[in-house]
Structure 1
Amino acid sequence: MFEIRIICEPADTDRVSQVLAAAFTTGPARQHPTRDGQRTRLYLTADHRSAPEPWPAPEEAYALAPSIISEIGWTARTAADRPFFDALNREFWLRKAALLDRIALSNEADSTTSDATDLATRAAQRLIELDDTAALSAPRCYVRQQYAHWAKNQ
């Protein structure tokens, strides 16, 4: 654990705090004016983020998943029952993103050209937004991780 001290313009304090919180595990920022009163001193207790959990392989993530056909049916029925997608819960978006990821993986294995990869990535990004998680470089891997956790707890 360590302490970070930043001197910045008062208008920049929120942005600086957010950037530091994205890079480190931080405590709340303590703010004090500088001696001249023109700028702000920020003090944050910080620690390195723990190593991220490794992404599960698709075979591991989807080991407990029902068939693709079954998931297509569930997704279609759920969407038909609730036509306003923004009101749908996390389970819907997780299962839809996992379904699209599985279809994209199948197409990639068969060297089939389709828009499945793009659709899988978009659905993964929707799940990331719903989870209020920082943008990730591997959104489909995030879906696999989250699906594996969800499936184990069902």
Structure 2
Amino acid sequence: LGGLEAGEPPRVEPGPRALGEAGVALAALSASLTLALLALLLLFAWRARGKEAGGEKEEKRGRGGIPQREALPQDRVRRAYALALKALKAEGLPRFPFEGPLAYQARVARTFPKAAPDLARLTGLYLPVRYGGVVGEECAGEAEEALKGILSVCSTSGSGKA
């Protein structure tokens, strides 16, 4: 029986096969760690590429020294429109959820004619941004000027109802 007593389990001694399996496991672990480090390195390189090449807009320092990107023209138009809505709401003219920008503009023109020209101009600049268009710096500046007009009318009127 080859040196085995009857009823004894065979003894397993480390040999070439057992060592080979451990070597394969170590090689797989090493390859996994190498791939993870490579992926991390690529992620850092990808995130840093835009900053070095000047691909991002110049950052400004906001509250608490936190860097902030310069606002895009579309964002400036959206902000101007939102602030105009807020001012008109304070005058008693909120925009209803079912009301589109043009319907709101028409209602404001009927009930608060002093704000109508500036709101019409601001709405005309807002519509392309809201529905998928792109605007430039000039449009953003115009939107902010229209907002100033609306704010001045709202602050001096005392009541939006004419």
TM-score range, shorter chain: under 0.3
Q: Highest CA radius of gyration, 1 or 2?
A: 2
TM-score by length of 2: 0.25
Q: Which has the higher helix share?
A: 2
